[in-house]
Amino acid sequence: MKRYLTLILAALIALTALCTMLGLISCSNGMSGNKDNGQTPGGTNTLPEEERIPLDLPDKNYETSEGKTNFNILQWTVGDQNTPGQHWLPWEEGHVEEEDGDMLSGAVFRRNAWVEQEFGVDITTEHVSLDRDPSFSQRVINNANSSGNEFQLMTLRTYDIFALIQQGMYLDMNQYAGTILHTDQPWWVQDSVKSFTLGSHLYVASTEMLLRDKGSTAALYFNQSIAEDYADVLPDFFMLAENGEWTFEIMLESCELVASSADGDQEMNSNQDIWGCFGGDDPTYYLFNSMGFKFAHVDQFGYIEYDYGDDDNDSIVTMQRIFEEFMFADWYLNEGVNGLDILDENQDPFVDGQALFKSGMVKDTSTVLKHMKDMYGILPHPMLDDNQENYSSLVWVHHDSVIGIPLHVKDSEMCAIILEALSWESYYSVYPVFYDTILLNRAAKDEESKRMLQLIFGSRSYDPGQYYDTGATASGLHHDDGLLRLAHKGSADIAGMWAGFKPLVEDNIRQVNNWVAGNEN
């Protein structure tokens, strides 16, 4: 099997190179079962019009004698900052005032300028914090209750989606599917279309006009200088990943080999120690997903089927391994647990050259990792074992974005047209710049890491169990007593935790499916 994986990947790399030479925007790398997720951008230049899939939209222009029609996008942010530029969103995805020399900002600016000219609209954005007063959710509700036309599109953090969908805040985009919104085309993220479908309805999804969903994809980084220092005992991580042999067990062994106490006392308790891996609580979910598991999936009829804790209990056994062998290992520095007593303020031991691995997200390349002096490599999170067929890279619900059309907007057809145009143009002009310039040239310092990025983006995965099991008091995933917080308690009693939460989680999913059924009538 490994030999076949090696041959397949070699062929895919050759195919990618051919696509790049021909100027193609995407070709499937075969590492994912999702239609869109094999995208391998070929360069920063846009394709000639004759090489693009035609934009199939009604011939509309919304400019009037009074000027262009305002088209406002509501975008969520966090804290006191109502603008991008923080670690939650290092790039502006909706609107740029002017070209400032940055290639990605310039691509967004030119995309919007084309859409504005083509359709007679003036695109603006407003960033509203999730926790300000009034909060993002309250702004959405106020806009709907007043039957206002304050916003024409809204982004939404996936962790918060169902509460607002259930309250009727978003339009069913499927009413325009196939006529205006071509959701089967590659500028729509296909796994998101599938995962966010409820019954026969699609209220939110991800398209290529968004950048936050790409940035919130799980990625694993390793310090190449440390790897070289231990080359006699560490494997070639890149080669393992390309051969389909990059596994959880090998990652654990590598961390154990590298971790060392600075003062020789064999105790990992100093900010001068060398750690196997640095991260937070979130790797619990990154690893669970990368090892082939999800908490739930959407079936063919648009209903949620919960997968965690099924009869064979493999999911519970795997989660217990993650805690016992990774989260509670003495070489794992958890910034929110043992790291509180060890690290200085804002210290990142991986950036400082004191950790072999860092478990994080793709957007780390444009935030914390830009300060790193050592060369670093990028990898997908490991598979369970080499019998697993594909890598899987989780799109993390706490940082991800999807987009939807407000239910009570005055002209929903216009909103659908502009959404489709922005997504289509982004696929051909913004996303290649994002991939090549931001990731390949700045983040991935070598050709091997570039191929790893192809594996990561070719295996992006949404887990419906994480955003449809949304009851904060009932969730076994994100509640204070749930999985995410077990690391803070030093407990790996996964089976016991699940036994207590199972009735609540199942009831929560049942309520979602009852709501779906009620909206099918």
Per-residue pLDDT, 440: 60
Mean pLDDT of 139-149: 78
Which carries the bigger pLDDT value, residue 490 or residue 152? Answer: 152
Mean pLDDT of 474-492: 68
Of 43-47, 113-117, 336-340, where does mean pLDDT reach its minimum? 43-47
Q: Which of 137-151, 291-305, 427-441, 489-503 has the highest mean pLDDT?
A: 291-305
pLDDT above 70 covers a percentage of the chain that reads 82
| Predicted confidence band of residue 300 (pLDDT cuts 50, 70, 90) | very high
Q: At what angle do helices 314-321 and 283-290 cross, to 10 degrees?
A: 130
Q: Would you say residue 431 has pLDDT above 70?
A: yes
Q: How far apart are CA 15 and CA 458, in angstroms?
A: 14
Per-residue pLDDT, 511: 87
Q: How far apart are CA 521 and CA 339, in angstroms?
A: 52
Q: Given the structure tokens 């729509």, which residue do they identify?
A: 188
Which carries the bigger pLDDT value, residue 45 or residue 420? Answer: 420
Per-residue pLDDT, 481: 65
pLDDT digits (tens, 9 = 90+) for 320-378: 999 999 999 999 999 888 888 888 888 899 999 999 999 999 999 888 888 888 989 99
Q: Would you say residue 393 has pLDDT above 70?
A: yes
Mean pLDDT of 17-44: 33
| Predicted confidence band of residue 158 (pLDDT cuts 50, 70, 90) | confident
Per-residue pLDDT, 23: 36
Instruction: Print burial letters for 264-282: b (CB count within 10 Å at least 16), e (below 16).
Output: eeeebeebebbbbbbbbbb
Omega before residue 48 within 30° of 0, cis: no
Per-residue pLDDT, 470: 55
Which carries the bigger pLDDT value, residue 26 or residue 46? Answer: 46
Q: How far apart are CA 217 and CA 412, in angstroms?
A: 30
Per-residue pLDDT, 439: 67
**DSSP per position, 255-311:** HHHH-B-TTSSS---STTSBEEEEE-STHHHHHHHHTT--SEEE-TTS-EEE-TT-T
| Predicted confidence band of residue 477 (pLDDT cuts 50, 70, 90) | low
HEC states along 226-263? HHHHCCCCCCCHHHHHHCCCCEHHHHHHHHHHHCECCC
pLDDT digits (tens, 9 = 90+) for 194-234: 999 999 999 999 999 999 999 999 999 999 999 999 999 99
Per-residue pLDDT, 358: 97
If residue 118 lies in a helix (H) or strand (E), which one and from where to where?
Answer: helix 103-119
- Give backbone dihedrals phi and psi of 332, rounded to 5 degrees, phi first: -95, 120
Q: Would you say residue 86 has pLDDT above 70?
A: no
**513 to each of 39, 197, 198, 476, how far by Cα in Å?**
32, 12, 8, 18
If residue 510 lies in a helix (H) or strand (E), which one and from where to where?
Answer: helix 494-520
- Give backbone dihedrals phi and psi of 293, rounded to 5 degrees, phi first: -120, 150
Mean pLDDT of the chain: 83
The pTM assigned to this predicted structure is 0.87
* Cα atoms in the Cβ-side hemisphere of radius 13 Å centred on 323: 19
pLDDT digits (tens, 9 = 90+) for 238-251: 999 999 999 999 99
Per-residue pLDDT, 7: 41
Residue 296 token pair: 């739930």
Per-residue pLDDT, 228: 95
Per-residue pLDDT, 8: 41
